[in-house]
Amino acid sequence: MIDTERLVLREMTVDDYADLAEILQDAEVMYAYEHAFSDAEVRDWLTRNLKRYQEFGFGLWAVIERKSGEFVGQCGLTIQDSGVGQELEIGYLFKRRYWYCGFATEAAAGCLKYAFETLKRHRVVCIIRDSNDPSRRVAERLGMQVMGRMVKHYYHMDMPHVIYGIRNPAVEVSDYCPDWADRFRELKKLLSSLDHLVVHIGSTSVPGLAAKPVIDADMILEDWNMREDVIAALAKLGFIYRGDLGVPGREAFSETLRLPFAHNFYLCRGNSEALRNHLLLRDYLRVNPVDALRYGNLKKQLAVQYPADVDQYCIHKSDLIAELLSKAGMDPADVNAIRALNLTPIQ
């Protein structure tokens, strides 16, 4: 299924029982599960994986060291409950004698690439027991960030877990889709309890404009003194605070696991330059279809040139964005400041 520098990942078979048992019946390997598995539990685990291959075309795969041909662990993709929905998760367990070889990170990175490039999933998670520091370090090496927490009830006890996640980094631009407006309304409905104005911004908010299929939205906060309370309320909805990322008056958040589609969400001060920039560009493009077409065509071109480099994609849009903001009436000094910001790689 998957080849990496040192490893091959393939479907397990019934002949892999003994190797799988060496993992699942090692109490130290299985400490996050609080027990070593019985023979029956190992058989059930293997049977579930074989069924996953048939149902989904993926599951937990046998990890084979290329040089020796040894079965060193298991790693793969499964559908798991995040507490608020179903997510595609990378899981990994390795024989104890192969720990600290970097195999888990290498195998998981191969699975992540497969999930994004072959399965075309927009998001992948790792749901990890909060005390499992080695597994958490693997997720962090994959570039994942904390997106939530949950408690699993397993083996007669409550087990706190951390949910790490990462979005597909591929740069793909699509023709305008009317469903984008529906997705924004779904996001807005989720936020309705906070009673602050939420506006659709970015290219998906402009009918007819080609865009990356990522919904952008701003919540406008007129009283910035309420900021901490609103951040806390957003956390309860699954939006994890990321800071202003270098943009004063605009606080960024991770996408929430409560929504199944890609989205960027910001909390903006009512009089901030960041909010004005978002609204000015959106409103200009809505009433100037010729420039909207130019912008859409440029994005399609850049997506072909930089399919895996979102920084370069954004940087090479900056000149046209500056031109459009100037046409929309923005002060030259403010245009230059925004252009400089757009030339800065995304954090």
Quick check: 24 and 42 in contact, CB under 8 A?
yes
Does 302 lie in the same domain as 232? yes
Q: Which two tokens stand for residue 154?
A: 């397993």
How would you class 55 by CB atoms within 10 Å of its CB: exposed for 0-12, middle for 13-18, buried for 19 or more? Answer: exposed
Does 238 lie in the same domain as 137? no
Does 60 lie in the same domain as 142? yes
How far apart are the C-alpha atoms of 239 and 264, rounded to whole Å? 10
The enclosing H or E element of 106 equals: helix 103-113
Please say which residue of 167, 198, 217 terminates a domain: 167
Q: pTM of the predicted model, to two decimals?
A: 0.91
Please say which residue of 167, 192, 207 terminates a domain: 167
Predicted local confidence at residue 160, as pLDDT: 95
State yes or no: pLDDT of 296 exceeds 80.
yes
- The band of 156, judged by pLDDT with boundaries at 50, 70 and 90, is confident
For all residues of the chain together, what is the average pLDDT? 95
Does 58 lie in the same domain as 183? no
- The band of 347, judged by pLDDT with boundaries at 50, 70 and 90, is low
The enclosing H or E element of 289 equals: helix 289-305
Asked whether residue 6 is assigned to any structural domain, the reply reads yes
**How many angstroms separate the first and last alpha carbons of the chain?**
33
How far apart are the C-alpha atoms of 303 and 312, rounded to whole Å? 10
Q: Give the chain's domain count.
A: 2
Please say which residue of 167, 192, 215 terminates a domain: 167
Predicted local confidence at residue 322, as pLDDT: 94
Does 236 lie in the same domain as 126? no
Does 156 lie in the same domain as 236? no
Predicted local confidence at residue 343, as pLDDT: 77
Does 191 lie in the same domain as 66? no
* CA nearest neighbour of 251 among 262, 261, 241, 260: 241
**CA angle 260–303–308, rounded 5-degree value:** 70
> Residue 185: which CATH number?
3.30.460.10
Share of the chain above pLDDT 90, in %: 91
Predicted local confidence at residue 346, as pLDDT: 61
How would you class 317 by CB atoms within 10 Å of its CB: exposed for 0-12, middle for 13-18, buried for 19 or more? Answer: middle
Per DSSP, the chain holds a count of helices (H) and strands (E) of 11, 13
The enclosing H or E element of 8 equals: strand 7-10
Within 130-171, strands assigned E span: 145-154, 157-167
How far apart are the C-alpha atoms of 171 and 260, rounded to whole Å? 19
Does 198 lie in the same domain as 335? yes
Within 8 A by CB and 6+ apart from 274, the residues are 247, 248, 249, 250, 266, 268
Domain residues for the domain of 227 are 179-342
State yes or no: pLDDT of 3 exceeds 90.
yes
Taking only the tens place, the pLDDT of each residue in 27-58 is 999 988 889 999 999 999 999 999 999 999 99
State yes or no: pLDDT of 162 exceeds 60.
yes
Quick check: 325 and 280 in contact, CB under 8 A?
yes
Quick check: 10 and 19 in contact, CB under 8 A?
no
State yes or no: pLDDT of 136 exceeds 60.
yes
> Residue 121: which CATH number?
3.40.630.30
Asked whether residue 173 is assigned to any structural domain, the reply reads no
Quick check: 78 and 108 in contact, CB under 8 A?
no
Does 213 lie in the same domain as 110? no
Q: Which two tokens stand for residue 333?
A: 């000094």
Quick check: 74 and 42 in contact, CB under 8 A?
no
Asked whether residue 97 is assigned to any structural domain, the reply reads yes
Within 120-262, strands assigned E span: 123-129, 145-154, 157-167, 198-201, 215-221, 241-243, 250-253
Q: In terms of DSSP bridges, do strands 263-269 and 215-221 run parallel, antiparallel, or are they unpaired?
A: parallel
How far apart are the C-alpha atoms of 147 and 166, rounded to whole Å? 9
Does 160 lie in the same domain as 88? yes
Asked whether residue 320 is assigned to any structural domain, the reply reads yes
Predicted local confidence at residue 341, as pLDDT: 79
Does 300 lie in the same domain as 210? yes
How far apart are the C-alpha atoms of 161 and 163, rounded to whole Å? 7
Asked whether residue 112 is assigned to any structural domain, the reply reads yes
What is the mean pLDDT of the segment spanning 316-337? 92
Asked whether residue 174 is assigned to any structural domain, the reply reads no
